[in-house]
């Protein structure tokens, strides 16, 4: 088992250490990404507000189909057709005092391509889908470097080998000559990370980067991402459905349900005092250390509704034991501050008291 930091190990100090001081690197406001399909409009992302800070890891949690990947792909503007950002902004601050709205940049424009790869890089669940199968890994990294940096071929090769070494690939000059299929899944994911880092991005987006790997390799890859984050002062947006991973690496957490953020806050408050019934249900569905093996895990009641059959009012109400008829099925709760976290639930907003 990977070393998972126990939830109780998170202290008040962690939270203070983690408080962001600077303007967010990325500020997402009112983001909506829809798919116009024959059967109707799939509202994959339906009004997301989110801040991503330098040198912090933000974990996005939520069951499959909640819009995590489409939200991440919207930032990079790589949503497949017929998906489209229909509303909202994605303000990116490159660090020179300027800010650009990624949501408004022309798809395929030079500026957007420069940001993608150079400023913001993404790694995916299955590295084989992004690594070319018939090109040696070294050459692939060299090509990425040459695309974004003004260096000679031999300098690029030197940098590529350094990167392979940095991501913990043994005998990097030998591996430079390997084809992707000659490497294990863990090594391939390391190559992907090396490629993503080749341009020293300010934001690394990792979409379930370790799901396909065994637990030991998972832990190593996550440690690697966390180390590199500290070293390069990167922002990391990590999508995962593994709460152990969240407890281990996150500073900030956002929980998504049916295209919306239903709760967000620092990792300490989310784990210590989850407010939204969905967050609670997610947290309850993990085995606790020491829990008897035969104890059946409480799954979340019901299933995520079909994207075209969005419930009225609060989308989670059909699975929520605390749902209040006449309120939760009529009005939609917005995200409001409740203590250190923000939550979109009428019940909790009333109980805890917003500002
Ligand atoms: N190409 C597409 N066409 C139509 N709907 C899509 C497409 N891609 C994703 N979706 C829908 O968008 C929603 C969010 O998907 P996704 O972001 O992949 O979820 P997650 O990453 O949280 O599992 C889902 O309902 C999914 O069915
Ligand atoms: Mg996904």
What's the CATH number where 113 sits?
A: 3.40.50.300
Statement to judge: residues 111 and 138 lie in one domain: no
181/244 same-domain check: no
Which protein residues touch ligand 1 with a CB less than 6 Å away? 35, 37, 42, 44, 62, 64-70, 80, 83, 307
Does residue 310 fall inside a structural domain? Answer: no
Best probe residue, ligand 1, of 34, 35, 38 (max atoms within 8 Å of C-beta): 35
**Ligand with the closest atom to the CA of 255:** 1
Which residues form the domain of 187?
A: 131-200
Residue of the CA atom closest to atom 11 of ligand 1: 44
pTM of the predicted structure, to 2 decimals: 0.88
Band of pLDDT at residue 176, cut at 50, 70 and 90? very high
Last residue of a domain, one of 160, 183, 200: 200
Backbone φ and ψ of 123, nearest 5°: -120, 145
Whether the predicted pLDDT of 352 surpasses 90: no
Rg (CA), the chain: 21
Q: How many domains does the structure of the chain reveal?
A: 2
User: pLDDT tens digits for 247-279?
Assistant: 889 999 999 999 999 999 999 999 999 999 999
Please give the distance, rounded to the nearest whole angstrom, from the Cα atom of residue 62 to the centre of ligand 1: 13
In a domain, 184, yes or no: yes
Report which bound ligand comes closest to the CA of 63: 1
Give SS3 for 101.
strand
Q: How far does residue 58's CA lie from ligand 1's centre (Å)? A: 21
Q: Residue of the nearest CA to atom 1 in ligand 1?
A: 80
Distances (CA, A) of 102 to 41, 81, 170, 238, 318: 23, 17, 38, 19, 35
Q: If you take atom 10 of ligand 1, which residue's CA is the nearest one?
A: 44
Q: What is the pLDDT of residue 15?
A: 40
352 domain residue, yes or no: no
Cα separation, 266 vs 38, whole angstroms: 40
Based on the fold, state whether residues 112 and 20 are members of the same structural domain: yes
Residues 6+ apart with CB under 8 A from 132: 140, 180
The pLDDT value recorded for residue 135 is 93
Residue 82, preceding peptide bond in cis (omega within 30° of 0) = yes
Question: 25: Cβ–Cβ under 8 A, 6 or more apart, which residues?
Answer: 52, 53, 54, 92, 93, 202, 203, 235
Ligand 1 centroid to 78 CA: how many Å? Answer: 13
- Residue 352 to residue 343: CA distance in whole angstroms: 10
Helices (H), 233-301: 243-249, 267-272, 277-284
Q: 295 lies in a domain?
A: yes
Shared domain for 140 and 79, answered yes or no, is: no
**Which pairs with CB-CB distance under 8 Å and at least 24 residues apart come from 292-296?**
none
Quick one: pLDDT band at residue 353, thresholds 50, 70, 90? low
pLDDT for the residue 211: 80
């Amino acid at each position: 088992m990977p070393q998972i930091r126990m939830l109780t190990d998170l202290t008040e100090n962690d939270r203070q250490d983690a408080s962001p001081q600077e303007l967010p690197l990325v500020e997402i406001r009112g983001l909506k990404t829809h798919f116009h399909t024959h059967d109707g409009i799939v509202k994959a992302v339906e009004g997301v507000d989110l801040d991503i800070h330098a040198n912090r890891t933000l974990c996005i949690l939520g069951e499959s189909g909640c819009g995590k990947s489409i939200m991440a792909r919207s930032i990079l503007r790589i949503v497949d057709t017929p998906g489209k950002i229909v509303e909202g902004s994605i303000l990116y601050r490159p660090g020179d005092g300027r800010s650009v709205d990624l949501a408004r940049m022309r798809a395929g424009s030079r500026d957007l391509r420069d940001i993608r790869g150079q400023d913001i890089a993404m790694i995916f669940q299955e590295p084989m889908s992004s690594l070319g199968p018939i090109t040696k890994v070294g050459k692939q990294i060299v090509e990425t470097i040459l695309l974004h940096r003004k260096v000679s071929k031999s300098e690029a090769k030197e940098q590529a080998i350094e990167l392979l070494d940095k991501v913990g690939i043994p005998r990097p000059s030998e591996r430079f000559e390997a084809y992707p299929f000659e490497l294990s899944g863990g090594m391939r994911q390391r190559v992907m990370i090396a490629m993503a880092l080749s341009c020293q991005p300010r934001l690394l987006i990792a979409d379930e980067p370790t799901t396909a790997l065994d637990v030991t390799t998972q832990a190593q890859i996550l440690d690697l991402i966390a180390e590199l984050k500290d070293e390069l002062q990167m922002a990391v947006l990590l999508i995962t459905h593994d709460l152990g991973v969240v407890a281990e690496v996150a500073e900030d957490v956002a929980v998504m349900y049916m295209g919306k953020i239903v709760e967000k806050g620092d990792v300490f408050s989310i784990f210590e005092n989850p407010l939204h019934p969905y967050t609670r249900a997610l947290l309850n569905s993990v085995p606790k250390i020491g829990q008897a093996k035969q104890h059946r895990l409480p799954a979340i009641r019901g299933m995520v509704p079909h994207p075209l059959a969005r419930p009225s009012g609060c989308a989670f109400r059909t699975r929520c034991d605390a749902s209040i008829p006449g309120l939760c099925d009529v009005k939609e709760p917005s995200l409001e501050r409740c203590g250190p976290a923000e939550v979109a639930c009428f019940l909790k907003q009333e109980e805890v008291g917003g500002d």
